[in-house]
Structure 1
């Protein structure tokens, strides 16, 4: 079973992400600060993690699916250039099932 890391401190939003992951047959794994081993796919709130850390994960090959407030969308260019998918929160949760489906299909053996 494929694992998807989740770094979303807001419990309501975490439960939405967790349900979307489970609905596609994958296993959500809670990621916390200092976690050394990450799954190949990581869903996160860009406001909960320093941008440099998200950049490092994306550059290391982790497929990052991230959301944040639309007012800060100009700050996401470096993350996108590193391969992360970063969307405003409202759009992210609308598109989450299809985003996960695409990355999980790419990660399947």
Structure 2
């Protein structure tokens, strides 16, 4: 299992598109964390197909409001049906 070509771009309504490429089908989980390590959001995409794909985060925190300006850690985790797991980290600067 390989997870690569991970990109983060501004999306609609203040959210963010995460582009990725998987070598085989896997469940995806996106963890959005503050720099102190606190998990702010948990976004899942079950049974993502092999190849290019996208996952959307609406840019909101646990209270449903847009996260404030700052730097956030994005962790994208892919888990295949055989239990193989890979992780990719990206840093995102939010400026509204």
Structure 1 and Structure 2 fold alike (TM over 0.5):
no
Query: Which is richer in strand?
Result: 2
Q: Which has the larger radius of gyration?
A: 2
TM value normalised by structure 1:
0.24
Structure with the larger RCO, 1 or 2 (CA within 8 Å, 6+ apart): 2
Query: Which is richer in helix?
Result: 1
